[in-house]
Structure 1
Amino acid sequence: MNFDRKYLVWALGYLIVGMGVGLYMAASKNHAQLVAHAHILMVGFAVSFIYSVIHRLWLERPARGLATAQFALHQAAAIAMCVGLLLLYGGVLPESTLAPLLGVGSLGVLLAALLMIWLVRQSGRTDPAASR
């Protein structure tokens, strides 16, 4: 499976989870999970979808190892961040316990974005049409 399709499948998975959290909040009239809901949809769905589009339109043949590392880092970090926020705003665990998980997740999402920038920059250097 190509990275564009992998990212699309994961994006749609985050969409389902984010919408499920939204429906839960609406049905229960308890909007405590609003921050987690927003992060699931933005970091999970929107960013994964954008990465899917980038792979489809601009990264014809990315360096396989780097693209795999970037994909795995983004997904692991997004999951860590989203699960941490669900646990925090659900009142399951205190912030002092979840702070390391949330910090690592946030940093991982940022590092994955930096790796995506690197992939895009490298792709431009190997494309002969880009120099025209």
Structure 2
Amino acid sequence: LAALPTGPAAGGSDWPTASLAPLANGASSCALLGKDGRTVLASTTSSLPDDRKTPAVRVGTGALVQVGSGSTAMHMLIDGSGTAYAISGGTDAVQRLGYASKDVGRAADAWIQFFPAGPALSSEAAGRTPTAASGG
């Protein structure tokens, strides 16, 4: 087997080359997406409070990110509550919200699935009269 040619590695050049070790019993995993777009993986044996079992966003902050690429690219605004809002209308809509292209970060599609989705942000929705939610 050792003499057979090897195909290209799966994933991109930024994928880890070392194997991941299994977590110890009772350990919880944690991933942090840094400002530079790199993911830091960690684990802890401390029990996590319930509010840390979902994505956390530092109070007073948020993120404007683009996920996907080409014709499937979409802008998402993540607020301080950790809610992700899709922005309809592409770059024009982002500019109407007061952001420039330099303000847009990149996020892997896989990261967005961890954030609860809020309603889509669009010019049409902004122009509508709010309606009361049913008190069911």
TM over 0.5: no
TM norm structure 2: 0.23
Relative contact order, CA 8 A, sep 6+: which one is greater?
1
Task: Give the structure with the larger strand fraction.
Answer: 2
